[in-house]
Amino acid sequence: MTRQLHFNLFLHDTGHHEASWRLPESDPYANLSLQAHQRLARIAEDAKFDSVFLADSPVLWSDPGRRPSGKLEPTLLLAALIGSTSRIGLIATASTSYNEPYNLARRFASLDHLSQGRAGWNIVTTAGDAAARNFGLDDQPLHRARYERADEFLEVSTKLWDSWADDAIVADKQAGVHARSSHVRSVDHHGEFFRVDGPLNVPRSPQAWPLLVQAGSSEDGKEFAAKWAEAVFTAQPTLAESQAFYADLKRRAAAAGRDPDHVVILPGIVPVIGDTSAEARELEAELERLIAPQYAVATLAYTLRVDPARLVLDEPLPADLPDEAEIEGAKSRRTLIVDWARRENLTVRQLIGKLGGGRGHRTFTGTPSEVADTIQEYFENGAADGFNIMPAVLPSGIEAFATKVVPILQERGLFRTDYEGTTLRQHYGLPRPSNVLDPIGVR
């Protein structure tokens, strides 16, 4: 079968550009609206996207003056979207640092049952002291410790999902046996971070496990992805950097004993689309004009771990920024931003303009054909298996992508014209996991 693109829609209130909420078309309350999310999910499903995705963090993300900042709990919101969709996958972010395996494994198994096999979990370790202080801690755990906890968290979760054999439920009314008790097993996990007896109180779900997604690009993050991730959301601003990341992660997956084709790499892209190049550039310029510098500088300063007063709008970044090794959160994003600014000799004003659209993800500005050409270039040159689509403005950005870019890629034979499977794993061409608690179920 000819290799084809995979598309995920990253749902983000009025769009990924931080000034999108200020456009006349935007609903500044979309972040709290079920109807707005239903509309976006249906647009993506009509275009045959693999999935939609909701990011999340157990902390207020930014100054609420900057843009809509309230976030509904993502697994609840995705559960509410089940009834208004039928095929598209539903991916939610949840933290391994501020949850427990039993509760989270139960939540995602429930979502997979309710959606008939469309659930996915974006696994994050959550950087930042502010989140830690919401859970009784003074400081965030160290970067390496967060990933060590995440590794054991996944070990426990997969055991819990597999604590019911696929054939455990027989529902034999004549014999009066609903499930074979011997096919429901404890997990008896006693590790460094967790002690969990099990079994889970939810039977094995249609996909066995939710699709496992990961987004960290630090060294620890890439090692974790190579071991566990089945789809990877990533951010690189150039083709060469995307190719390097793609090759590196596929190599790491192979070294971990996995099939590299079972790790689907999806760089984030922020398409700004116009019927003409001039129209697209006009929209891009309008969005940049609407950025409020005081908020953008404060956010950049937090990412770089410097005093905002040191970031002067019409000067380059300071030469003596903290090194990646000196910070404990968002290491890879910090390095991406600094390298980008240094490479292109950007002033702070120019940098926040570029970051305003995609926070370091690649922004494509152009006509539908130009956007399709760029997607094809990445896909056919070892940089991507598909893309995490992050429209600068919603809903118009996904409407333009779905109705103008997708048909071009379908005509070129690069994207499906209809779903061939029913589960999220089938959309991504991934196998259903064997049971880790069965003798033949070694992963």
Cβ neighbours, 10 Å, residue 372: 25
147 annotated among ligand-binding-site residues: yes
For residue 56, say whether it is annotated as part of any ligand binding site.
yes
Tokens representing 21 are: 């909420």
| 193 and 156 Cβ atoms separated by less than 8 Å | no
Is the distance from CB of 139 to CB of 129 less than 8 angstroms?
yes
For residue 410, the surrounding DSSP H or E stretch is: helix 406-411
What residues contact 98, with CB distance under 8 A and at least 6 apart?
58, 126, 131, 134, 135
Which 8-state DSSP code applies to residue 68? -
Among residues 310, 122, 103, which one has the least CA distance to residue 201? 103
Tokens standing for 281?
């550039």
Q: Are 93 and 55 in contact (CB under 8 A)?
A: yes
Residue 242 is assigned to a ligand binding site: no
Cα–Cα distance for residue pair 109/120, rounded to 1 Å: 10
Has 115 been labeled as part of a binding site? no
Residue 248 annotated as binding site: no
Phi, psi (5° rounding) for residue 391? -55, 135
| CB contact set of 412 (below 8 Å; sequence gap of 6+) | 372, 376
**CB-hemisphere CA count at 13 Å for 245?**
31
Q: How many CB atoms lie within 10 A of CB 401?
A: 24
- Tell whether 262 is in a known binding site: no
Q: Point out the annotated binding site for FMN.
A: 56, 93, 143, 147, 217-218
Binding residues: 56, 93, 143, 147, 217-218
